Amino acid sequence: MILRIDRLQVELPAAENPSPNCAAAVQELLGGKFGEMSTLMNYTMQSFNFRGRDKLRPFYDLIANIAAEEYGHIELVSYTINQLLTGTMPQGTDPTDAPLADAVGARNSYHFIASGQQALPMDSQGQWWNGSYVFSSGNLRLDLLHNFFLECGARANKMRVYEMVKDRVAREMVGYLLVRGGVHIVAYAKALEKLTGVDVGKLVPIPELSNKKFPEARKHEEKGLHRILYRFSPDDYRQAGQVWNGPHPEDGQPLEFVDGPPEGAKPPDLPEEPQLSAPLGPEIDKDMFAAISKRLFGK
Ligand code: MN3
């Protein structure tokens, strides 16, 4: 079962400069091959398919628990896209004025035609996320090696999107997810180390750029978030702590398994899409509305 908490894992600010094309770029981190939908579904399927669970319980607990965290990551990226799309069509609400005219020039027209200026399960090129991005081989070493690679690829994509999009909402989201993705890289490295004895930690960081170069990531690392694995369950997945322990491979600080999810923050309230849902725009005749009201209610 999945328990759901109506909080975002980290607080997101409103966009300062909403932009459809920035929103389109951020879509890669949601529905791209290396996006959060892929990490979510890879670890979810691997946990459902896990054989030898009782014998290999710490590895099962690790993969299943990280899958739960990824659910909150697709939520964070979606809210970022929504913030970047909110307020980008400024022409008002009269359909004859073509209030969505600017959307014709947007890279992703699905944002304006197929949704109400909202996130969709697709990548930055408008290609739908698909199940072929999921790798679940049934071999634990192979799956862990794949997950390590997937998280490193995801990290490269996050850095490039950060370098493309300057708005604070995108950078806050990427900064936080660079830190959390970094935890997952180390977690899969530690898992491979415990399973085989190989020192995968010597490979990190991939790419070589440190998270500390990104101010929005650095502030979380200064609070120790790169050392913390959260346990996303009221009572289960406790043996993940048998993998998540010892020193962090980059700064040698001790890893910590925290008993519960992060405190998180309230999700932002998104306004209605004015072009479709404004029954009382400035052009509506208030006298006519009053006359209808009088006929119906007698006053
Ligand atoms: Mn993630």
| Mean pLDDT computed over 152-171 | 98
Between residues 178 and 293, the one the model is more confident about: 178
pLDDT digits (tens, 9 = 90+) for 287-299: 777 888 888 888 6
Q: Convert the pLDDT of each residue in 31-61 to its tens digit.
A: 999 999 999 999 999 999 999 999 999 999 9
Q: CA 175 to CA 231: how far, in whole Å?
A: 21
* Confidence band, pLDDT 50/70/90 cuts, at residue 94: confident
Closest CA to 32 of 161, 210, 149, 169: 161
**How far apart (Å, rounded) are the C-alpha atoms in residues 294 and 292?**
5
Question: How many angstroms is it from 276 CA to the middle of ligand 1?
Answer: 33
Q: How far is the CA of 91 from the centre of ligand 1 (A)?
A: 36
pLDDT digits (tens, 9 = 90+) for 101-112: 999 999 999 999
How many whole angstroms from 67 Cα to the centroid of ligand 1?
Answer: 9
Question: Of 226, 70, 225, nearest to 147 (Cα)?
Answer: 70
Phi-psi region of 54 (alpha: psi -120 to 50; beta: other; left: phi over 0): alpha
* pLDDT(11) > 90: yes
Q: At which residue do the structure tokens 């289960």 appear? A: 236
- The amino acid at residue 63 is I
SS (H, E, C) the chain: CCCCCCCECCCCCCCCCCCHHHHHHHCHHHHCCCCHHHHHHHHHHHHHHCCCCCCCHHHHHHHHHHHHHHHHHHHHHHHHHHHHHCCCCCCCCCHHHCCCHHHHHCCCCHHHHCCCCCCCCECCCCCECCHHHCCCCCCHHHHHHHHHHHHHHHHHHHHHHHHHCCCHHHHHHHHHHHHHHHHHHHHHHHHHHHHHCCCHHHHCCCCCCCHHHCHHHHHHHHCCHHHEEECCCCCCCHHHHHCCCCECCCCCCECEEECCCCCCECCCCCCCCHHHHCCCCCCCCHHHHHHHHHHHHCC
Q: Across the chain, what does the average pLDDT equal?
A: 95
**Angstrom distance (rounded) from CA 264 to CA 251:** 26
For residue 49, how far is its CA from the centre of ligand 1 (angstroms)?
A: 20
- Taking the centre of ligand 1 as the mean of its atom positions, its distance from the CA of residue 102, in whole angstroms, is 32
What is the pLDDT, as a whole number, of residue 279? 55
Two tokens, residue 31: 């529905």
Q: Is the four-CA dihedral 41, 43, 47, 51 of positive or negative sign?
A: positive
Which CATH number does 20-90+99-267 carry?
1.20.1260.10
Contact at 8 Å (CB) between 190 and 201?
yes
For residue 36, report the distance from its CA to the centre of ligand 1, in Å: 5
Cα(41) to ligand 1 centroid in Å equals 11
> pTM value?
0.92
Distance in Å, CA 73 to ligand 1 centroid: 5
Cα–Cα dist 53/136, whole Å? 15
Higher pLDDT, 90 or 113: 113
